[in-house]
Amino acid sequence: METLSEDTQRRAVKRVATMRVLGLGLGLLPIMVVLYELNAPMVMWLLALANGFLWPWVARRIAVASSDPMRVERRNLLIDSMMGGMWVALMQFNVVPSLVLVSMLSMDKFAFGGVKLAARCFAALAASAAVFAALNGFAFAPHSSTIVTLAALPLLMAYPSAIALAAYTLSERVRKQSKALAELSRTDALTELANRRALMESLDHEFRRFRRGGYRATLMMLDVDRFKLLNDTHGHAVGDEALRTIARVLRKTLRDTDTAGRYGGDEFAVVLTDASGARVGDLAERLRQSIAAAELIEGQGVHATVSIGYAELDSGMHTGAQWIAAADAALYRAKSGGRNRTMSSPSHGPIP
């Protein structure tokens, strides 16, 4: 917990504080009924009201204002348990509200700090109950009347549901954050396309599909023409914009089932699922023309072009590396043939 940022700790503390307001507010009801049946003195009534309504806000304020909110909140939870033990004793161990209070106080400790915190707080509760029982002459009246039992039901019914809802909400947040982190680990920061790792996973997946069932797939490689000259002439900001522009064109043109990513530097790769033949050639030409037409600096006529090579999987390929090599060979032919053009792998010949 100590490794969490202060903001994260404060958010956790505020969630606990909300549970405290609910738990102590509902827990006050059976306590008040028992105090009424015991004809308790006014000081006990004032103590109960302070515990139920004042303490939750004091605890929240102290924890949120602290430089170590979680440490302070653990201390607050310990105080909650000590107060719970006090009320068990002052209610003369009235069985129903006592058991409900102990159960609810144990539940939130398990939810917040696990077994270790729950054990510490239960020990504090037991010690507090023993001390106040001694101060109260070890008064013992365990019988719970019907009205006391009914008064304990709202806490018994609502608090576990609230704890479960809070736990579910937190788990959903963690799941979404984990998913977001997983996506970030597979995404290129500049272009927001797949990174090389994600590309290779997609390539391996399609290669295995082809080897198992003959599913068609094509690998396309794109390289920015004279990228160093573009950077030297217009600056690296324009070079970065060229990469982002290519990424936008790829996202706009490709299908959801295709995987486009930054292969490295100014080179991109696209894994096209269930695609082959003339359709791939048409797609490559559309991509090339769209990229060439995109203006990098509005109103200044600065453009970038790409050379594209692509290779369809065939039975002569036994590894993914051979597939990459075939697409790379096609890309080399496109660049050596004058750049700003598309070319299929040598085994398939040039675009018709």
Q: What is residue 2's predicted lDDT score, i.e. its pLDDT? A: 42
pLDDT at 298 over 80: no
Helices of type H across 136-214: 146-184, 196-213
Q: Which residue has the higher pLDDT, 24 or 297?
A: 24
pLDDT at 288 over 50: yes
How far apart are alpha carbons 157 and 175 in whole angstroms? Answer: 28
Q: How confident is the model at residue 214 (pLDDT cuts 50, 70, 90)?
A: confident
266 is annotated as an active-site residue: yes
Q: What is residue 169's predicted lDDT score, i.e. its pLDDT? A: 79
Q: How confident is the model at residue 4 (pLDDT cuts 50, 70, 90)?
A: low
Q: Which of 80, 225, 266, 328 is catalytic?
A: 266
| Maximum separation of any 2 CA atoms in the chain, in Å | 101
Chain mean pLDDT for the chain: 90
For the residues 206-224, what does the mean pLDDT come to? Answer: 92
Contact 81, 122 (CB under 8 A): yes
DSSP secondary structure string for all residues of 122-140: HHHHHHHHHHHHHHTTT--
* 288-294: Cβ within 8 A, 24+ apart: 288/340, 288/341, 288/342, 290/249, 290/252, 290/253, 291/245, 291/246, 291/249, 292/340, 294/245, 294/248, 294/249
Most confident region among 178-182, 194-198, 348-352 by mean pLDDT: 194-198
Tokens read off for 48 = 């109960």
Q: What percent of the chain has pLDDT over 90?
A: 70
- For the chain, the residue count is 352
List domains and CATH numbers for the chain: 6-183 (no CATH), 196-344 (3.30.70.270)
Q: What is residue 98's predicted lDDT score, i.e. its pLDDT? A: 96
At residue 48, the 3 state secondary structure works out as helix
Tokens read off for 193 = 């396309």
Express each pLDDT in 76-112 by its tens digit.
999 999 999 999 999 999 999 999 999 999 888 887 7
Express each pLDDT in 119-149 by its tens digit.
999 999 999 999 999 999 999 999 999 999 9
Q: What is residue 351's predicted lDDT score, i.e. its pLDDT? A: 36
Q: Which residue has the higher pLDDT, 311 or 15?
A: 311
List C-alpha distances in Å: 160 to 166, 167, 173, 347: 10, 10, 20, 67
Tokens read off for 347 = 């085994």
341: which DSSP letter? -
Q: What is residue 162's predicted lDDT score, i.e. its pLDDT? A: 85
Q: How confident is the model at residue 172 (pLDDT cuts 50, 70, 90)?
A: confident
